[in-house]
């Protein structure tokens, strides 16, 4: 018996599951000129909507809007929420004030990083945890014995990142009175369509910027409010390519790009402790026990840390994305995880994962091997690499109080 196409599709639905559309997809699709979409956490998201160069310069010159709705979001509430999150994450949650945000990470029992993300304290016992991967089974297992309720709210909450020098001016023009009082990593609630939009002074660009969260039903009205206010202030919707350039300049890392998360890695030598990806500064060893604490302390005491994540400046102007790193042009010692020619810094910059002691005690004699495609032929380039501090770009407006109108 021969099955028609519709019957075959119905019999194999997992092959034909469509990507979800974000609450802002209608507005994004109307602006799209490239049809350059990718899958982000099961959602359809744009690499670029128009010219990716103009989208990058919107971040640095005016204001850029990036849809962060696909970002995984968990609501964690209950009298045991602080104790649970202190047990789960490496930072001291008790020190996080109400209406504040901090960047954090969490590990498995071996000290390997499961993910990094932002933790929003919305009330005494109410939190929102935002991250790259989905972790509900892990969170629920870790909550055993704690008086806490955990649920995923990714699909219920729409989110926008508004980033760039005119971002505050747009919020002011949009009528969000009092938003100028928000300091970096502070949260406020503002009226919108008879409901509340949560605005935090946070972002992933290293620039002046904010993140806005509303119930899904109010997504399009929030978008329209911002774009009406920003029509003379250079507002532009952007895709991930432009955002990625800005985050590299800011020295920020991305899960499963600059490091493999513990649940995603297939090979044991791909796992990383916080100290091996530059997150050692956030670990609070004075607070009660947390997942991975013993393993992290043992690695530090025994000096068994194997890797280090570093910033690099590379000779020339060809970005060495995913290039191998060598010592004295002979010994392979690591790989570049992210790289761009920085329009703002006017430097060829990169983030690289190296095998210790390279990048730690041994910092000289590093080279990257680049294969540049030129007129249908690859040309091998060996370029000198120097270890430099991150961030590669520091902008005073990011932390200015009050923010400027620019």
Q: Which residues of the chain fall short of a pLDDT of 70?
A: 1-17
State residue 17's pLDDT score: 66
From CA 47, how far away is CA 61, in angstroms rounded?
Answer: 20
From CA 131, how far away is CA 135, in angstroms rounded?
Answer: 9
CB 136 within 8 A of CB 47: no
Q: Which pair of tokens denotes residue 40? A: 């982000």
**What tens digit of pLDDT does each residue of 281-304 get?**
999 999 989 999 999 999 999 999
State residue 16's pLDDT score: 60
Output the CA torsion sign for 363, 365, 371, 373.
positive
Give the Cα-Cα-Cα angle 248, 93, 86 (nearest 5 degrees): 105
The CA-based dihedral angle spanning residues 213, 219, 225, 227, taken in that order and rounded to the nearest 10 degrees: 100
State residue 288's pLDDT score: 84
State residue 188's pLDDT score: 98
The three-class DSSP label of residue 273 is coil
Beta-carbon count within 10 A of 177 CB: 11
State residue 8's pLDDT score: 46
CB 369 within 8 A of CB 380: yes
Beta-carbon count within 10 A of 181 CB: 12
Which residues have C-beta within 8 Å of that of residue 239, sequence separation ≥ 6?
36, 45, 46, 47, 48, 49, 52, 55, 66
State residue 13's pLDDT score: 52
**What tens digit of pLDDT does each residue of 254-278 get?**
999 999 999 999 998 999 999 999 9
Strand order in 72-77's β-sheet? 100-107, 113-123, 126-131, 72-77, 149-152
From CA 386, how far away is CA 315, in angstroms rounded?
Answer: 9
Minimal CA–CA distance to 171: which of 221, 121, 209, 204?
Answer: 209
CB 167 within 8 A of CB 389: no
CB 135 within 8 A of CB 114: yes
Domains present along the chain, CATH in parentheses: 21-71+156-249 (3.30.1360.120), 72-152 (3.30.70.1400), 268-388 (2.40.30.110)
Which residues have C-beta within 8 Å of that of residue 312, sequence separation ≥ 6?
336, 349, 350, 351, 352, 366, 368, 385, 386, 387, 388
| Distance of alpha carbon 366 from the chain centroid | 28
| Distance of alpha carbon 196 from the chain centroid | 25
From CA 18, how far away is CA 273, in angstroms rounded?
Answer: 35
State residue 2's pLDDT score: 45
The three-class DSSP label of residue 133 is coil
From CA 368, how far away is CA 324, in angstroms rounded?
Answer: 6
3-class secondary structure per residue, 344-366: CCCEEEEEEEEECCECCCECCCE
What pTM, to 2 d.p., does this model score? Answer: 0.94
Query: Is residue 286 annotated as involved in ligand binding?
Result: no
Strands 195-200 and 157-163: unpaired
């Amino acid at each position: 018996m021969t099955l028609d196409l519709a019957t075959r599709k119905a019999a194999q639905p997992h092959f034909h599951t469509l990507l979800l559309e974000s609450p802002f997809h209608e507005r994004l699709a109307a602006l799209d000129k490239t049809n350059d979409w990718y899958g982000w956490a099961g959602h359809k998201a744009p690499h670029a909507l128009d010219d990716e160069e103009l989208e990058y310069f919107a971040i640095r010159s005016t204001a850029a809007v990036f849809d962060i709705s696909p970002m995984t979001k968990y609501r964690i509430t209950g009298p045991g929420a602080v104790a649970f999150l202190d047990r789960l994450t490496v930072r001291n949650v008790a020190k996080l004030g109400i209406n504040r945000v901090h960047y954090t990470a969490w590990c498995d029992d071996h000290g390997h990083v499961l993910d990094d993300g932002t933790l929003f304290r919305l009330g005494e016992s109410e939190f929102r945890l935002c991250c790259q991967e989905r972790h509900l089974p892990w969170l629920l297992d870790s909550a055993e014995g704690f008086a806490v309720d955990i649920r995923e709210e990714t699909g219920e909450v729409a989110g926008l990142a508004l980033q760039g020098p005119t971002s505050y001016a747009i919020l002011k023009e949009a009528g969000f009175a009092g938003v100028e009082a928000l300091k970096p990593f502070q949260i406020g609630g503002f009226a919108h369509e008879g409901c509340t939009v949560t605005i935090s002074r946070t972002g992933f660009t290293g620039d002046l910027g904010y993140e806005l969260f509303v119930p899904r039903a109010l997504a399009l009205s929030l978008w329209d409010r911002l774009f009406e206010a920003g029509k003379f202030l250079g507002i532009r919707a952007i895709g991930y390519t432009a955002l990625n350039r800005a985050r590299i300049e800011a020295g920020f890392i991305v899960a499963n790009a600059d490091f493999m998360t513990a649940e995603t890695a297939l090979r044991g030598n791909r796992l990383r402790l916080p100290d091996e990806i530059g997150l050692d500064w956030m670990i609070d060893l004075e607070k009660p026990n947390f997942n991975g604490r013993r393993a992290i302390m043992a690695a530090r005491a025994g000096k068994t840390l194997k890797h280090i994540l570093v910033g690099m400046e590379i000779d020339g102007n060809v970005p060495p994305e995913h290039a191998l790193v060598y010592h004295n042009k002979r010994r392979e010692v690591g790989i570049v995880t992210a790289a761009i020619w920085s329009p703002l810094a006017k430097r060829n910059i990169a983030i690289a994962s190296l095998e210790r002691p390279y990048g730690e005690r041994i910092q000289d004699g590093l080279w990257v091997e680049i294969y540049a495609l030129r007129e249908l032929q690859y040309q091998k380039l060996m370029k000198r690499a120097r270890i430099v501090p991150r961030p590669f770009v520091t902008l005073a407006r990011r932390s200015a109080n009050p923010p400027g109108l620019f």
